[in-house]
Amino acid sequence: MEITCKNCRHLYTGHYCSNCGQTAATYRINWHFLWHEIKHSLLHFDEGIPYSIKQLFTRPGHSIRDFIEGKRIRHFKPLSLVLVLGALYGILYHYFTINLFSASSNSKIDMVDFNEWSSKHYSWITILTIPLFTLGTFICFRNQGYNFVEYFVLNTYKASQKLCIQIFSFPLIYYFNGRPELQNILILIINVR
């Protein structure tokens, strides 16, 4: 049975228009459609984000190597993952005032302003430091057979893992906010990596 494409008016048979690629199955836009779009288009939620995060904590080396070697269908793209996690981190730290740095009386830096600036821009700081870590990784491990961009992917996933740890530990950080124990907890979180 021939179908008239709703996009380009081309006549075709099958599941997709042979002229423009439009799917034959178009559905009415409703709440189910909206949820499907959010899960599949925006977050690739079936497997993407949850799968990648789980793999980063259960099999980090294997999952990153799999991605670099071409097994990418179940993974969320590394740069997109760090951006999503960085945005989530930024939202958390924007709506809750967390003092990550203790004020020192002999410091020339206003720690309140520095804390606010670093919290608001942490995701950008993380993203901008990935090339620096990648350069170091590339220099130290240049004989392993990976190129600079492959090491960039590795370091992007490492940054995503770091952001996950900080997001998951946020309730603990929030609970100890303003207390002297916060600095010890932050040191513990940093050393978990």
pLDDT in tens, 69-78: 988 888 888 8
- pLDDT at 139 (0 to 100): 95
- Please check the confidence at residue 106 and state whether its pLDDT lies above 60: no
Give residue 92's pLDDT: 84
- Partners of 12 in the beta sheet? 3
Q: What is the mean pLDDT of residues 120-147?
A: 89
Check the CA dihedral 136-137-143-145 and report its sign.
Answer: negative
Lowest mean pLDDT among 3-12, 92-101, 134-143, 157-166: 92-101
- Confidence class for position 172, pLDDT limits 50, 70, 90: confident
Q: Which residues of 62-80 are buried (b: 16+ CB within 10 A; e: fewer)?
A: ebbeebbeeeeeebbbbbb
- pLDDT for 191: 63
The percentage of residues in the chain with a pLDDT greater than 90, rounded to a whole number, is: 23
For residue 102, is pLDDT > 70? no
Give the phi and the psi of residue 54 in degrees, each rounded to 5.
-60, -45
